[in-house]
């Protein structure tokens, strides 16, 4: 078990405080990553994210983190949360078309549903591919807060339904995981997810 978790701090928008707290509660040691050099001394990577796809990518580029991060996630176990999951994709369509980190072959589109947007609140996940990250969390509910969704058909771990609309709520490609919900805001179930991540 390697539990030094680097949480990427990019731009003005990162609410990393609550993610740090939740990882520590789960037994991890958190290092906030501001500089590319700091990516060397960690075992795992968490990419948080609030804000827009476009801003997130330009902040990563401004901070000189975009390419080093794209490289680092090829080898280190990585968890993208919400927008952090979305930017793992190849391309996003929020405020125009923006290229992402390209770790997962997917596109990010606004949620196609005739209902209130953003989708906010606790919701179930239906695990379609058993995996270590979601192990023991089959019957749990997680907190969602998003207006965009990752469209992908190959790497899906779980789906969630919002007002009859089925969307991808978690994905995995090799060592890279992404969750659309906020484990740091999902009570004990979220802490358990971070434990699973630390134990990968």
Partner 1 sequence: MRTRIIAKLDTKPPHVVKPVHFEGLRKMGLPAEMAKKYYEQGADELIYIDIVSSLYQRDILFNEIENTANEVFIPFGVGGGVRSIEDFSKLFHVGADKVVINTYAVQEKPELINEAAQIFGSQAVVVNIEAKKWDNWYECYTDGGRVQSGKNVLEWVKEVEQRGAGEIILQSIENDGRQEGFDLELCKEVVDSVNIPVVVSSGAGKLEDIKELIEYAKPSGVAIASLLHYDKFTINEIKKHLSENGIEVSR
3-class SS at 183? helix
Choose between 22 and 101: whose C-beta lies nearer to partner 1: 22
Separation of alpha carbons 67 and 101, rounded Å: 8
Using the rule CB under 8 A, which residue among 8, 23, 47, 83 binds partner 1? 83
In the window 87-146, what residues touch partner 1 (CB under 8 A)? Answer: 115-118, 120-123, 141, 143, 145-146
3-class SS at 17? helix
114 within 8 A of 163, measured Cβ to Cβ: yes
Choose between 16 and 72: whose C-beta lies nearer to partner 1: 16
Residues 6+ apart with CB under 8 A from 166: 159, 160
State the minimum distance, in angstroms, from the CB of residue 102 to partner 1: 22
- For residue 25, state whether it binds partner 1 (rule: CB under 8 A): yes
Using the rule CB under 8 A, which residue among 55, 63, 149, 155 binds partner 1? 55
- For residue 61, state whether it binds partner 1 (rule: CB under 8 A): no
3-class SS at 23? helix
3-class SS at 105? strand
What angle, 0 to 180 degrees and rounded to 10, lies between the N-to-C axes of helices 187-198 and 17-25?
Answer: 70
- For residue 200, state whether it binds partner 1 (rule: CB under 8 A): no
Q: Point out the residues that are catalytic.
A: 82, 182, 184
Interface residue list for partner 1 (CB under 8 A): 12-15, 17-18, 21-22, 25, 50-52, 55, 83, 115-118, 120-123, 141, 143, 145-147, 162-163, 182, 184-188, 190-191
């Amino acid at each position: 078990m390697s539990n030094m978790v680097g949480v990427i701090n990019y731009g003005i928008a990162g609410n990393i405080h609550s993610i740090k707290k939740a990882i520590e509660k789960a037994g991890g040691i958190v290092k906030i990553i501001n500089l590319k050099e700091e990516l060397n001394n960690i075992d795992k990577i968490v990419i948080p994210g609030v804000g827009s796809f476009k801003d997130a990518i330009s902040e990563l580029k401004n901070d000189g983190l975009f390419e080093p991060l794209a490289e680092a996630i090829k080898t280190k176990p990585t968890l993208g949360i919400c927008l952090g999951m979305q930017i793992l994709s190849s391309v996003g369509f929020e405020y125009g078309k923006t290229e992402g980190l390209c770790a997962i072959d997917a596109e990010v589109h606004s949620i196609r549903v005739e209902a209130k947007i953003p989708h906010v609140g606790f919701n179930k996940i239906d695990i379609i591919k058993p995996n270590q990250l979601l192990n023991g969390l089959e019957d749990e509910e997680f907190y969602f807060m998003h207006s965009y969704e990752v469209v992908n058909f190959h790497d899906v771990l779980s789906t969630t339904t919002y007002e009859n609309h089925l969307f991808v709520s978690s994905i995995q490609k090799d060592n890279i995981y992404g969750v659309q919900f906020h484990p740091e805001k999902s009570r004990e179930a979220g802490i358990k997810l971070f434990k699973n991540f630390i134990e990968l």
